[in-house]
Amino acid sequence: MAAGWSRSGREPLTAQLFVTTPPARFAERRYAIRVLLEEFLGQSVRVQPGDLDYTAITCADSSGVVAVPDGLFALPSSLWLTPGSLPKEPVAWVRPREFLERQILPFHRSPAIYEPAKTPTLPRTAPEPDALFEVPMDLFGGTFFMLTRYEEFVLRAMDEHGRFPASASIAFRQGFLEAPVVNQYAEVLWAALRKLWPRLRRPRRTYSLWVSHDVDSPFFVYRPARARLAALGLNGVAGDLVKRRDRRLAAKRLRAIRSTLVRGAPGDPHFNLKRVMQADEAFDLTATFFVMAGGGGPFGAPYSLCDRNIRALLREMGARGHSIGLHASYESAEDLGALRTEWRALRSTLTAEGVSQEPRGSRAHYLRWFADSSFRQLDQVGLDYDSSVAYADHAGFRCGTCYEFSTFDLERGEPLGLTERPLIAMESSVIDPWYMAKGHGESALGVFTQLADQCREYSGTFALLWHNTRLLGADEIGLYRQVLESCS
């Protein structure tokens, strides 16, 4: 088991594939083709526009053509990024074994998100028998739709935090949110290529579990100025009783104040990140900790990178081999300047503390990721990766994949340097009564395990988020350990 991200190996490529597409939406087509053929299947590809009404794939030094029909990209340009270009529901389901015959696939059926717009005008006489293989699915349009979150750009449905809810997605409505559809499409394409060119090889991948922790609240009551602790803490207790009307929370805070006054930060129940590191290390995992570096208002960071306890933790994370990323503030999802400032603050703090790693990526607080702007903003700031694209209200494959992938700017129609590491499950999405409501028992464990098994089928990465503030009670610590055990 590897703790990082599943990637293709670096074995030499055995063939060069040539892909000729219809002329319209060439940048979008080339992006989807490259993700499937280069990034997912590890092939060397040249893509060019041509005078065709389908996508034709040929192989150097071999005869034959694999034809993929047009669906999304064949729609009139006036419909692009409008509701008129969304898939028709209910979606049709295809059983690829029916046209791929004896090829072994890790699934029985797959949704045809876009159906072919028309029958491809294929060459009337193939150069030799069996030299033409037609895939009856719009693999590239469906891939583009899922990876870019096309429907979210078009519909802009929002919950109270401005996020697109799972319940508004086609994948949820049509029952394929819990399957990595883009990985299925890659397998269909690979099986089609191998039918014509059995000598093609693809690099091996290995399954991995990637654990991450968003550090929203490392202190329950602690503040650096010890003298102010009791006053601030008691203020919090008053808020618990009057504003939040939660006597249990008030009692918990009182106990925490007492413990923190006696023992300092280590007495604070939320100051548990060392124990979280130990829990991960017990399963031979190195985790990624996303740390806040700014932000104000009701959803701002309740701690500062200047705090000596936080700095000591960052040094310890680095020394123990864990990774550190930015937990971008609530506001930064709509404020490029704030995102840039936070990114710089985290980088300079790690340098000042002698942490010998460059932070590479971020996750948005509250998973505030927007299809029209987030990828572009993160790319502009210079991050290598993002890992925010998961629905808060339902675990699953929001982007349709368990592989990391290059991103695309839908509004400007151009590929970006930023990579997405799709998050598959956040603990609260599965556990909490206002989301999937599975609690802490067998039923919750079953959800995590099934999602991990899907990732395993494609030798992908099961990206899991667990907040440190959830690892306090025996129930949730127990579930977390069971999840690590069964998913690593």
Q: Which residues bind Zn ion (CB under 5 A)?
A: 214, 216, 365
- Closer to Zn ion by CB, 326 or 487: give it: 326
Task: State the Cα–Cα distance between residues 369 and 361, nearest whole angstrom.
Answer: 14
Residue number, 317 or 392, with CB nearest to Zn ion: 392
Q: Residue 66 belongs to what H/E stretch?
A: strand 65-69
Nearest distance, CB of residue 423 and Zn ion, angstroms: 12
For the record, the structure tokens of 341 come out as 């400032």
User: Of 93, 76, 104, 89, whose CA–CA distance to 136 is shortest?
Assistant: 93
Closer by beta carbon to Zn ion, 30 or else 467:
467
Helix/strand number for the chain, H first, E second: 15, 16
| CB of 169 or CB of 468, closer to Zn ion | 468
Expressed in percent and rounded to 5, the helix, strand and coil fractions of the chain are 40, 15, 45
Tell me which DSSP letter residue 216 carries: S
Q: CB 315 → Zn ion: shortest distance, Å?
A: 22
Which lies closer to Zn ion via its Cβ, residue 137 or residue 426? 426
Q: What is the strand order of the sheet 54-59 is part of?
A: 44-49, 16-21, 54-59, 65-69, 132-134
Q: Find the shortest distance in angstroms from Cβ 394 to Zn ion.
A: 18
- Pick the closer one to Zn ion by CB: 115 or 214: 214
SS (H, E, C) 136-172: CCCHHHHHHHHHHCHHHHHHCCCCCCCCCCHHHCHHH
Question: Distance between CA atoms of 328 and 316, rounded to whole angstroms?
Answer: 21
Contact between 56 and 67 (Cβ < 8 Å)? yes
Closest CA to 314 of 288, 339, 334, 332: 288
Measured from the CB of residue 380, what is the shortest distance to Zn ion in angstroms? 22
Based on CB atoms, which residue is closest to Zn ion, 32 or 465? 465
- Distance, CA of 239 to chain centre: 36
Q: Quick one: 216 or 404, whose CB is closer to Zn ion?
A: 216
Cα gap 292→283, rounded to integer Å: 26
Among 83, 67, 85, which Cα is nearest to 28's? 85
| Tokens, residue 124 | 């009337």
Task: Identify the H or E element spanning 380.
Answer: helix 374-381
Q: How far is the CB of 466 from Zn ion (least distance, A)?
A: 12
SS3 of residue 363 by DSSP: strand
Rounded Cα distance between 289 and 284, Å, is 16
Helix (H, G, I), strand (E, B) or coil at 264: coil
| Order of strands, sheet of 385-386, starting from the edge strand that comes earlier in the sequence | 405-409, 414-420, 385-386, 361-364, 323-328, 288-291, 208-215, 461-465, 425-426
Structure tokens at 50: 């041509």
Closest residue to Zn ion in the complex (CB): 365
Least distance in angstroms from the C-beta of 468 to Zn ion: 11
Among residues 330 and 408, whose Cβ is nearest to Zn ion?
A: 330
Nearer to Zn ion, 161 or 201 (CB): 161
Nearest distance in Å: CB 328, Zn ion? 9
Please report how close the Cβ of residue 249 comes to Zn ion at its closest, in angstroms: 19
Work out how close the CB of 53 gets to Zn ion at its nearest, in angstroms, rounded to a whole number: 47
Distance CA 358, CA 381 (A): 14
Determine how β-strand 92-94 pairs with β-strand 110-112: antiparallel
The nearest distance, CB 366 to Zn ion, in angstroms, is: 6
Q: Which is nearer to Zn ion, 182 or 364 (CB)?
A: 364
Two structure tokens written together for 250: 């008030």
Buried b (16+ CB within 10 A) or exposed e, 314-334: beebbeeebbbbbbbbbbbbe
Choose between 39 and 214: whose C-beta lies nearer to Zn ion.
214
Shortest distance (Å) from residue 477 CB to Zn ion: 20
Minimum Å gap between C-beta 303 and Zn ion is 12
